[in-house]
Structure 1
Amino acid sequence: MIHHYRKLLIVFLGQALLLGCKASTIAPAPVRTETTQASTSLFFTNPVAEGADPWVLKVGDVYYSCGASNKGIYVSQSSKLTKLGERVPVWKAPANGWNAHNIWAPEIHLIQGKWYIYYTAGKEPGGPFIHQRSGVLESATSSPFGPYVDKGMLYTGDNLQVPGSEKWAIDLTPFYLNGQLYAAWSGWEENALTDRTKQHLYIARMSNPWIISSNRVKISSPTQSWETGGELDLNEGPELLKKKEKAFLIYSTRESWLKDYRLGQLTLADTLSDPMQPRNWVKSDGPVFQGNEQVLGVGHCSFTTSPDNTEDWILYHAKKSVTPGWQRDIRMQKFTWTADGYPDFGQPIPAGVPVPVPSGEK
C-alpha cells in the first residue's frame, strides 16, 4: 500500500513539474506580444499620404490640412499629425474664368476669426502654365469646411492703379509680422509666353485677408550656385517660420519635377525689421534641406508642432522616382534648432524607417 502511494505521489509530482515548465514557457508569450504592439504604436513610417504641397495648420488640439484634387480643394481634420483625416471637398473650380483650371498648392488659414483658403489657378487647362494667378476663398460660416465664397484674384503686380496688371503668381502665403499682415509668393518679373521663365520671391502688404494693398517687392532671385544649373532657375513655395526674434522664409528651389528640388532659407534677423526691404532678408549659404539617394526632390514644406507643443515638425513632399514628373508623396519629420536660433532640418528620413510619433500623440 505504501509502495502504491509512493507511485501515485511520484506521478503527481511529475505532472505538476511538467505543467510548471509549460506555464513558465507559455505564460510570458502574451506579455511579449502586448509589449511589441505597444512599442509599434509609438512609431510611424513615411510617406504618410499621397499628394504634394502639404499644408497643415494646428488650431488648439486639431490639425487641419488642405490640398488640391479633381479641379477643386479639400480640407481634412484630425487629432493626429500622422493621420490627417478624411479629405472633404470644400470648393470646386468654376467651368470658366481665371481660376477654372490648374488648381495648385492651397493653404487654409484662420485669420481674424474667419477661415480662408489661398490657392493658385489658371484660366487654361494643362501647359504651358503661363496663366497662373493667386486667389482667396472665405468660409461663409465658422466652419473650416465652408461653404466657401470666392473673394477673387489677389493683386500681384507693380502698379495697383492699373486694373488687370497682375503678374504671374503661385504659392501665395499670408502671415503676420509685427502686427502687419503680409503676403509672399513666387512670381515672374513680366508675364511671358513660356513657363520656362525664371521665378522670384515677392512680398507685399495686405489691408485685410483678401486685399493686397501695396505693390510687390522682390526679395529673392535664384542667383546662388545651389539654386541654378538645371533646366529652370526658380524660387517658389515660400513659407514663414518664426522663432523668438527671428523670422525665416523657407522656400523651394531647382526644378520641382526633378530629383534636385530642395529647400533654401531667407532670414529676417529681427522681426521688427521691415520685411519690405530686400536688404533685410539674408539668404543661406546653401540648401537647408535636400534629398539623398533614398529620398528624392524634397520641397514645398509647411510647419507645425506636436500635439503637446513641445516639438517642431516639417511636412514636405518628395518624388516617387528619378523619372522627371510630378508623382510625389507627403512626408514629415521632427526638426530642431541650433544654439544661435536657426532651424536644423537634418536629413530626410527614408521611406519605411520607423520614426517616433510626435510627442503627445495618442
Structure 2
Amino acid sequence: MDTADYRNIKRIKALLGLLLYPLFMLGCTTAVAPTVEQESRLPEEEEYFTNPIADGADPWVFKKGDTYYFCSSGNGGIQVSKSEKLTAPGEKVVVWKTPDTGWNKSNVWAPELHRFNGKWYIYYAAAKKPGGPFLYQRSGVLESEGDDPFGPYTDKGMLYTGDSIEYTSSAPKWAIDLTPLQLNGQLYAIWSGWEGDAETDKTKQHLYMARMSNPWTISSNRVLLSSPEEPWETGGPLDLNEGPQVLKHKEKVFIVYSTRESWLKEYRLGQLTLSDTLVNPMEATYWVKSGPVFEGTDEVLGVGHCSFTTSPDGTEHWILYHSKKTTTPGWDRNIRAQEFTWTADGFPFFGVPVPAGVPIPVPSGQDD
C-alpha cells in the first residue's frame, strides 16, 4: 500500500466515523468506554485537524523550505508568523506599523508576502482616512532590507493603478488585493479596482492587470481583465470581483478570485484560465472565465479570498480561505484549510468546503 492509498483510507474512515456516530449513539443506552484494543484503532490526534484553524480573514501563506510564513493585518500594521505546520499558524509579529500621516495611515487590508531576488515584499491596501466609507483605498508595497520575512521593511510607496501613467500628475485609482504574477520573464500586477473615482463605496469592482518593471514599480497603464457579469457573479446588492490569486500547474496559469459580496454568505470563488502561457496575458480575450469553482454550503458560509500552497513534502496542494461565522451580514470570519486536487485536464478541483469539526488528515509530511 502506498502513501496515497493509506491517506485515502484514513479520509474514508474519518468520514464514516462522522456519519455513523449519531446512529451509534441512538442505538446505545449506556456509554461504554473503548477497550485498549479499540483505542489503538482510533485516529491519532496529531494525524488529523479540524477547521477552522484560526480567527481572521484574507489568509495568506508562503512556503519556503520547511517553513510556512503567514501574513495578515492587525495591531496597527502588518503581521508575519511562521510555523512548520500549515494547519497551526505561529505567533504573529508586527513587522510594519502604519505611519501617523500619509496615504497609508489607516484601513490596512489583505497583505501578501512574496519573495523576489533574495528579498521579501509585502503588497497591501491602505487609506488616508480611517473607517468608512471606504473611498481612499490604494495599493502599496514594502521591501525587506535583507532576506528575512520579519524585516525590517522599507516602505516603497504607493503603486500606480491608473490609466495615464505617462502623466506624472495623474492619480492612481482605487485598488485593493494586489498580487504579482511572473510569466515568461515578465512581472505583472493584478488587483481589484474601480473604473473611476466614486463618491460611494457601493461601487462595482473589477479585476485589472499592469506590467511591472520591478517588484515595487508598475510600468504600464492598467487593462481590464474581468467584470462581474455572469449570473453567479451578480444578483446581490453589489457586484464584486476581488481577491485575485495566481495558481500555476503543468503549463497552465489560473487567476482564482472572489466574487459576490464579502459580507454575505453568497461569497464564492471564480476562475480565469489563460488560454496559452505564451500569449500576452494583458489581453483580456485570452482569459476564459468559469465558476463558481468553490462556494459555500448550509454549514460553511461565504467562502472566499484564498491562497494556495503545498503540503510539507510537496505531494499535496492546499487552499486556505476564509468563511463567515454566521448568516448575519458582516465581516466576522475565520480561516480554514483543505486539500484540493486536479482534473485529468490539469484544472483545479476544489470540491466542497469541509464543515467545522470534521476530522481532516493533516497535510502529508506534517508529522515528520
TM-score (ref. length: structure 2): 0.88
Residue 99 of structure 1 pairs with residue 104 of structure 2 = yes
Size of the alignment, in residue pairs?
A: 333
Given residue 268 of structure 1, which amino acid in structure 2 is its aligned partner?
Answer: L
Residue 80 of structure 1 pairs with residue 85 of structure 2 = yes
Counterparts of 1:244 and 1:34, CA distance in 2:
41
Listed one character per residue, the Cα deviations across residues 110-140 of structure 1 (whole Å, up to 9, x for unaligned) are 1111001000000110000010000000111
Residue 242 of structure 1 pairs with residue 236 of structure 2 = no
Which position in structure 2 is the counterpart of 1:43? 48
Counterparts of 1:123 and 1:162, CA distance in 2:
23
Counterparts of 2:147 and 2:272, CA distance in 1:
34
Match of 1:176 among 182, 186, 195: 182
Which position in structure 2 is the counterpart of 1:190? 196
Counterparts of 2:78 and 2:121, CA distance in 1:
12
Given residue 318 of structure 2, which amino acid in structure 1 is its aligned partner?
Answer: W
1:32 deviation in Å?
5.3
**8 A contact 1:55–1:106 mirrored in 2:** yes
Counterparts of 1:35 and 1:329, CA distance in 2:
32
TM-score (ref. length: structure 1): 0.90
Q: Larger deviation: 38-47 or 150-159?
A: 38-47
**8 A contact 2:75–2:94 mirrored in 1:** no
Residue 115 of structure 1 pairs with residue 102 of structure 2 = no
Match of 1:307 among 289, 307, 312: 312
1:310 deviation in Å?
0.3
Which position in structure 2 is the counterpart of 1:13? none
Aligned-pair RMSD on alpha carbons? Answer: 1.3
Note closer, same or farther for the CA distance 1:339–1:132 as it changes in structure 2 (3 Å cut): same
Given residue 65 of structure 2, which amino acid in structure 1 is its aligned partner?
Answer: G
1:245 deviation in Å?
1.5
Which position in structure 1 is the counterpart of 2:208? 202
**8 A contact 2:68–2:82 mirrored in 1:** yes
SS at match of 2:292: coil
1:35 deviation in Å?
5.5
Which position in structure 2 is the counterpart of 1:352? 357
Counterparts of 1:338 and 1:34, CA distance in 2:
36
Counterparts of 2:80 and 2:276, CA distance in 1:
34
Listed one character per residue, the Cα deviations across residues 131-187 of structure 1 (whole Å, up to 9, x for unaligned) are 000000011122110011100000000011223420000000012011111110000
Match of 2:239 among 224, 233, 236: 233
Listed one character per residue, the Cα deviations across residues 263-319 of structure 1 (whole Å, up to 9, x for unaligned) are 0000002221210001000100x3000001000000000000000000000000000
Counterparts of 2:342 and 2:39, CA distance in 1:
37
Counterparts of 1:143 and 1:242, CA distance in 2:
25
Counterparts of 2:277 and 2:134, CA distance in 1:
35
Which position in structure 1 is the counterpart of 2:326? 321
Counterparts of 1:222 and 1:33, CA distance in 2:
52
Residue 135 of structure 1 pairs with residue 154 of structure 2 = no
Which position in structure 1 is the counterpart of 2:224? 218
Which position in structure 1 is the counterpart of 2:31? none
Q: Percent sequence identity over matched residues?
A: 68
SS at match of 2:247: strand
1:33 deviation in Å?
4.6
SS at match of 2:131: coil
Which position in structure 2 is the counterpart of 1:167? 173
Q: Could you list the runs of 5+ residues in structure 1 that have no partner in the other structure?
A: 1-27
Residue 69 of structure 1 pairs with residue 74 of structure 2 = yes
